[in-house]
Amino acid sequence: MWLLLRQGVQPQGVLAWLEAQGLGIQLRSLGERWIIEVEASDGQAEALLRLEEVEKVFISERAMPLVSSWQGGVQLGTWQRGEGLLWIAGPCSVENRESLLRLAEALKALGVQVLRGGAFKARTSPYSFQGLGPQALDWLREARALTGLPICVEILSETHLPLYADVDLIQIGARNMDNYWLLRAVGELGRPVLLKRNPQATVEEWLLAAEYLLLYGAPWVLLCERGIRTFERSLRYTLDVGAIPVVAAQTALPCIADPSHAAGHWRYVTPLALAAIAAGAEGLLIEVHPDPLTAQSDAAQQLTLSQFALLKEKASTLAAPSSRRLP
Amino acid sequence: MWLLLRQGVQPQGVLAWLEAQGLGIQLRSLGERWIIEVEASDGQAEALLRLEEVEKVFISERAMPLVSSWQGGVQLGTWQRGEGLLWIAGPCSVENRESLLRLAEALKALGVQVLRGGAFKARTSPYSFQGLGPQALDWLREARALTGLPICVEILSETHLPLYADVDLIQIGARNMDNYWLLRAVGELGRPVLLKRNPQATVEEWLLAAEYLLLYGAPWVLLCERGIRTFERSLRYTLDVGAIPVVAAQTALPCIADPSHAAGHWRYVTPLALAAIAAGAEGLLIEVHPDPLTAQSDAAQQLTLSQFALLKEKASTLAAPSSRRLP
Amino acid sequence: MWLLLRQGVQPQGVLAWLEAQGLGIQLRSLGERWIIEVEASDGQAEALLRLEEVEKVFISERAMPLVSSWQGGVQLGTWQRGEGLLWIAGPCSVENRESLLRLAEALKALGVQVLRGGAFKARTSPYSFQGLGPQALDWLREARALTGLPICVEILSETHLPLYADVDLIQIGARNMDNYWLLRAVGELGRPVLLKRNPQATVEEWLLAAEYLLLYGAPWVLLCERGIRTFERSLRYTLDVGAIPVVAAQTALPCIADPSHAAGHWRYVTPLALAAIAAGAEGLLIEVHPDPLTAQSDAAQQLTLSQFALLKEKASTLAAPSSRRLP
Amino acid sequence: MWLLLRQGVQPQGVLAWLEAQGLGIQLRSLGERWIIEVEASDGQAEALLRLEEVEKVFISERAMPLVSSWQGGVQLGTWQRGEGLLWIAGPCSVENRESLLRLAEALKALGVQVLRGGAFKARTSPYSFQGLGPQALDWLREARALTGLPICVEILSETHLPLYADVDLIQIGARNMDNYWLLRAVGELGRPVLLKRNPQATVEEWLLAAEYLLLYGAPWVLLCERGIRTFERSLRYTLDVGAIPVVAAQTALPCIADPSHAAGHWRYVTPLALAAIAAGAEGLLIEVHPDPLTAQSDAAQQLTLSQFALLKEKASTLAAPSSRRLP
């Protein structure tokens, strides 16, 4: 059971009272507020709610107090939330220093606000290319220094945390959305996190994963829909555009889409991207590669720079008439 | 096995040859061309292909020669394909003469090109309202006479065929997409058909259902994506926007979307509608009711006239930058 | 809204009262009881429940009064419910008189109680073999006369009803589970029906389809689980063995399984069949063909006679320790 | 690209040759054999296959050489593979020393071969009970010392590895099946691993996860089917019994089932368990709790001891007629 204390209230009084009752407790700060975990039975909730300092008592396993009440600023490079789309772009995996630097400059010139690139790759087969690891991270830092673009990199293991200390936007990939110890550890870094939806997760489970991140310290979470797994396999996954307005009805956290992984083929990236924007996505995560045919992972789904430039132009036209907020 | 004869060729010569071989045959016309069903083993395909008059031999159960080669005009009320969206709108079920006539006038004033309305309803429970049947069809005809709008009505049973003789666009609902005898019978009417995708059907199975319609005589088929069934149940179905460009890559038949059934709630109809347009849908099928709270079926998902007007305005702005054709 | 009258009560009094209120009504008999459909608003339910003759008022679209309260005898050939498994076996489609007669004799000798065979086939492609139709039905009747085995044949169209007048067990195939007008028409024949689950239907929707059949006159319905459509495609469908005990918790109607269609390949028919029996299925529907390699439909999934004999032996051993009833 | 060297061959010669070609290489031992990762293009495969020491070259991302060729002994407590079912049982989460010890003794008396218990719990909500961690592991060790039963415990984080050094069977839970860095780290312990299938994973992806474990050092992997996520939600998940024979056709690794998580309710655990056995599962993982109503996680799905005893009796009767091996 969790007690959310009122804004401005200090926790000492409640803590003392709870200890006097012999209840096990644990204190956690939520930005300017406090939340206390109490080892109490459900029957005791009523009594705890009577404490003056307590605003809410959470018992239900479906409660997501932080996600549903989140209100905050989102700062990411030059992106001004509400004044245009957020563009995160870059190669599936970082494979080469020169080509990464050139690509970063080109993407910046096209108005991309965040550079993404894979260092460690989650591959279904152990025999697939697994990424260049620390080397890739160094080149991404170099690209950041060169262009001023913040970088977004996926983390796959708690043991890699030290390598991510200065990554601007840490990505939790779809496969790790319910890797709760990784969520905790990443949350504790106190940095913004891009959280992809697991292709089998309900929207509720996805938002509960964001609740983990906020609870353990992330200031905000950038939700990213990337397709769910269904019986239809014409494309790699089924982009669940309906999830975008469903999320918007439940939280003020920003939500973008990744049409590259949903499509699995460059040919379908653009229509899916436009659909996501029209459904209210605030931005896009797009895989772009200077020469997709030579890419060591997900070659088929990466756009060339000129395909990307065309997508960006189309999407920007769409973004105005759409509006994220529901009626 | 099926033999498609070359353009301009008459079938008599081939028929005689096939009969001489002792093969069972059946002749069918495809507009200006002929197709012959032959009871032959796969091993005989090679020999048949050597006949001068034969353009193609179809053996595979996945072949959809008519769907994939279809090229034709689409005429539906005032809609000019390629010059704006097709709007099909009206109540889930027709319940009242006066309100239907008023609604039809209002929809026409808003630029809707086709009036839809349910006469017989496919309901999961036998205790749910099943539609007013022939009475509803009469009122729809009256609304057509009043407004000049063509009407689109779903057919549920072969035994109702005589009632649909003058329906402008006959709808095969999602539940009947693989009711092949109904497809045959409706195809034989030689009228355009709106074919909804079954929520469990792959795109391939959906297009094969359209192949039935074309083979049995429909001049063209208006494909309609209306959501597939997945594990995610925040909305009633998952609108598969990716299917729209996948269809466009395989056939020139027009494809629209029905966001009302996918959403299941009016609140989500607009974002799904916009997403479908952005993905390349050429039109929308929208449930509109003058007073949704009193509707006898699917009350939650029907838009009011003013909600519909707002959606139409937003969608029209989107339609320009999107483009149906894939790169 | 539907009113279920108490056992032994005659409907005249209630009908007169309802008419006096100006409510539209329709009377239907349920074996020894009466059910009345009333066009009333939900708000009037309370008043109707106060009528002495009324036992229950059904408003909810999820109510399945007949399915949940069904209690009756099941008579099908020599099968004694509760004393061994029901075996329904035969070819996917009937293709040849001689081979059907020989197969029927062989199946009878193996203890099969019902002969199945396809006359009209529901095929995804219009170019696939569609069945021999009336000819096949005649051969099945001949096989019945020869062996004494009742026959089970799928019906695909309301227009074929006259052909099925003497079919012992009429099969509604998976694709037609939600073809409600076919359900009505078949129900009105007053004959037992084998109802396959649509691969996209929830258990609730499946049972509501059975409710249609019972409401329109079927004395009982044999439910048949045959696999649902999921993302996993190693086998053709995912046999939902969990549905078997879920059904048993909701209705006393018998439930069997069709592992042939779920597996899609003979190699996996036996393990799925045994799993279904262990989960509580009361019988099996198995496709058996004297020479599967020559079958014109679903060749891969049909068992030979000796494979079937082996399956039957294994399954019979299993059936004893399992028990349909839940704790 | 990976080169599998022939049995008995030493790698030095090949390594020298590869280095002379300037190819990046990495050597890994597979028990008695060697596998070499080579950074070569696909076009070079042909040349490498000509090396005398090389048995196979793996390029495809779908290759699973270790899983498909695995042949080895499986040693787990008193279980003799092939001579009866493997029973792994215990509480969802370990909550209390006394009750765990008593339960372990009771399970042993019933013939259970492995004790399972949750120490760290993967919970969808951060506000749910997360397990007692190291304390729970200590009590499990104590139970092992008392009963002689080997213990099976799920690991959630690489940072917990030191705590699992003496755990007999390390469980990778469904959520972590594609947490590849955890798979690597656990594989490197060189211990047997129980690998649950992720509810969205295809059988192929599941086996590729086992390939990771074998490649990094696990001597064998116990595969565990526990239900996949589908549209049907009557039960928590859909137990995919078909996966059991599909697995058996592809690998000699043992495969069991976990009906507790699939069912989500004790009422349905037994029919699912029996179905899995009938389909060829070699054992079961069952959640048993001395007093389920007081359980802090998954209370609804845990069996009491007497329910478990009854299940065990039924399952043992079934096991004989079934046979894991396919025809």
Paired sense of beta strands A221-225 and A193-196, if any: parallel
Least trusted range by pLDDT, from A101-105, B76-80, C46-50, D66-70: C46-50
Is residue B186 a contact partner of residue B215, using CB atoms and an 8 Å limit? Answer: no
- Residue range D34-53: mean pLDDT, rounded: 83
For residue D321, what pLDDT band results from cuts at 50, 70 and 90? very low
Mean pLDDT of D109-136: 92
Closest among D186, D248, D191 to D223, alpha carbons compared: D248
Starting at the edge strand found earlier in the chain, the sheet holding C33-38 runs C25-30, C33-38, C2-5, C54-58
**pLDDT exceeds 90 at position D299:** no
**Interface membership of D231 toward B (CB under 8 Å):** yes
Interface test with D, best of A26, A57, A68, A127 (most D CBs within 10 A): A127
d(CA C323, CA C46): 41
Please, which residues have CB within 8 angstroms of residue C285's CB and are 6 or more apart in sequence? C88, C89, C116, C152, C194, C224, C226, C256, C257, C258, C260
* A&D contacts, CB < 8 Å: 95
The ipTM value here is 0.88
| All partners of chain D with 3 or more CB pairs under 8 angstroms | A, B, C
Q: What is the mean pLDDT of residues C18-45?
A: 82
A206 phi/psi in degrees, rounded to 5: -65, -45
Supply the pLDDT for residue C325.
41
pLDDT digits (tens, 9 = 90+) for B291-306: 888 887 778 889 999 9
Q: What is the mean pLDDT of residues D13-33?
A: 84
pLDDT of residue B30: 67
Burial classification of residue C22, based on how many CB atoms lie within 10 Å of its CB (0-12 exposed, 13-18 middle, 19 or more buried): exposed
Q: Give the CA-trace dihedral at A181, A183, A186, A187, to 10 degrees.
A: -120
Residue A207 to residue A190: CA distance in whole angstroms = 18
Mutation test of the interface with chain A: which of B234, B272, B306, B323, choosing the one with the most A Cβ atoms within 10 A? B234
Under an 8 A CB cutoff, do D271 and C278 touch?
yes
Two structure tokens written together for B312:
């139409």
- Does position B326 have pLDDT exceeding 50, yes or no? no
| Confidence label for D31 from pLDDT (cuts 50, 70 and 90) | low
Percent of chain B with pLDDT over 90: 69
Residue with tokens 């009742």: C150
Instruction: Please say if the pLDDT value at position B319 is more than 70.
Output: no
Contacts of C143 (CB under 8 A, 6+ apart): C100, C101, C104, C115, C117, C149, C151
pLDDT digits (tens, 9 = 90+) for A158-212: 999 999 999 999 999 999 999 999 999 999 999 999 999 999 999 999 999 999 9
Q: Which of C207-211, D50-54, D141-145 has the lowest mean pLDDT?
A: D50-54
Average pLDDT over residues C176-194: 96
- For the cut 70, the answer to whether the pLDDT of residue D306 exceeds it is yes
**How far is the alpha carbon of B100 from chain D, nearest alpha carbon, in Å?**
36
Condensed to tens digits (0 to 9), the pLDDT of residues C275-298 reads: 999 999 999 999 999 888 888 777
Tell me, rounded to whole angstroms, the distance of Cα D146 from its chain centroid.
Answer: 25
pLDDT single digits (tens) B153-180 = 999 999 999 999 999 999 999 999 999 9
Question: Could you say which of B127, B178, B200 has the minimum Cβ distance to residue C61?
Answer: B127
Q: What's the pLDDT at D317?
A: 80
* Mean of pLDDT over chain D: 91
In this predicted structure, what is the pLDDT of residue C322?
Answer: 44
Going by CATH, does the domain composed of D2-59 fall within 3.40.1190.20? Answer: no
Q: Is the Cβ–Cβ distance between A189 and A164 less than 8 Å? A: yes
Torsion (CA) A262, A265, A267, A269 in degrees, nearest 10: 30
Judged by CB atoms closer than 8 Å, whether chains meet at C229 and A233 is answered as no
- Give the per-residue pLDDT at B239: 98
SS3 C181: helix
Per-chain mean pLDDT for chain A = 91
Which of A45-49, B42-46, C198-202 has maximum average pLDDT?
Answer: C198-202
Closest-CA residue of C relative to B66 is C126
Q: What is the mean pLDDT of residues A316-326?
A: 56
Quick one: pLDDT at residue B327?
34
pLDDT at A62 over 80: no
User: D314, C322: Cβ pair inside 8 Å?
Assistant: yes
Residue of D nearest to A180 (CA): D122
Predicted confidence (pLDDT) per residue in C218-267, tens digit: 999 999 999 999 999 999 999 999 999 999 999 999 999 999 999 999 99
Q: Is the pLDDT of residue C125 over 90?
A: no
Mean of pLDDT over chain B: 91
Q: In this predicted structure, what is the pLDDT of residue A31? A: 64
Any B CB within 8 A of C124 CB:
yes
Q: How far is D232 from chain B (nearest CA, A)?
A: 7
- Does pLDDT of C29 surpass 90? no
What is the model's pLDDT at position B83? 86
HSE, CB side, 13 Å, CA atoms: give it for residue D257: 33
Judging by beta carbons within 10 Å of its beta carbon (0-12, 13-18, 19+), is residue B159 exposed, middle or buried? middle
% residues pLDDT > 70 (chain C): 96
Over range C135-148, report the average pLDDT: 98
What is the mean predicted confidence (pLDDT) over C209-223? 95
C-alpha C126/C-alpha B61 separation (Å) is 8
Q: Over 60: is that where the pLDDT of D322 sits?
A: no
Rg from Cα positions in chain B: 21
Average pLDDT for B3-12: 89
Confidence band for D324, pLDDT divided at 50, 70 and 90: very low
pLDDT at C297: 78
What's the pLDDT score for residue C24? Answer: 85
Report, as an integer, the average pLDDT of A290-306: 86
- Looking at per-residue pLDDT, the higher value among A123 and D108 belongs to D108
pLDDT at C326: 37
Note the pLDDT of residue C319: 64
CB pairs under 8 A between C and D: 143
- Any chains having at least 3 CB pairs less than 8 A from chain B are A, C, D
Those residues with Cβ within 8 angstroms of residue B144's Cβ, 6 or more apart along the chain or in another chain: B104, B115, B150, B151, B168
Say whether pLDDT at D102 is over 50.
yes
Per-residue pLDDT at B62: 76
Evaluate if residue B280 carries a pLDDT over 80: yes
Measured between alpha carbons, how far is C93 from C90 in angstroms, rounded to an integer?
Answer: 8
pLDDT at A132 over 70: yes
How does residue A327 score in pLDDT terms, banded at 50, 70 and 90? very low
Q: Which two tokens stand for residue C41?
A: 């608003």
pLDDT range class, residue C41, cuts 50, 70, 90: confident
Query: How many residues are there in chain C?
Result: 327
* pLDDT at residue C323, rounded to an integer: 43
Spatial CA neighbour of B242 closest among A316, A233, A197: A233
- Residue B39 pLDDT grade (very low, low, confident, very high; cuts 50, 70, 90): confident
In tens, the pLDDT along B91-130 reads 999 999 999 999 999 999 999 999 999 999 999 988 877 8
- B35 pLDDT band, cuts 50/70/90, is confident
- The reported pLDDT for the residue numbered C250 is 94
Domain with CATH 3.30.70.1140 in chain D: 2-59
Q: Has residue D323 got a pLDDT over 50?
A: no
Summarize the confidence of residues C164-171 as an average pLDDT. Answer: 97
Q: Where does chain D hold its CATH 3.20.20.70 domain(s)?
A: 66-316
Contact C143, C183 (CB under 8 A): no
Handedness of CA A242, A244, A245, A246 (dihedral sign): positive
Query: Considering only CB atoms, which chain D residues are within 8 Å of B231?
Result: 229-231, 233
Would you identify the CATH topology of the domain C66-316? Answer: TIM Barrel (3.20.20)
Q: How confident is the model at residue B321 (pLDDT cuts 50, 70, 90)?
A: very low
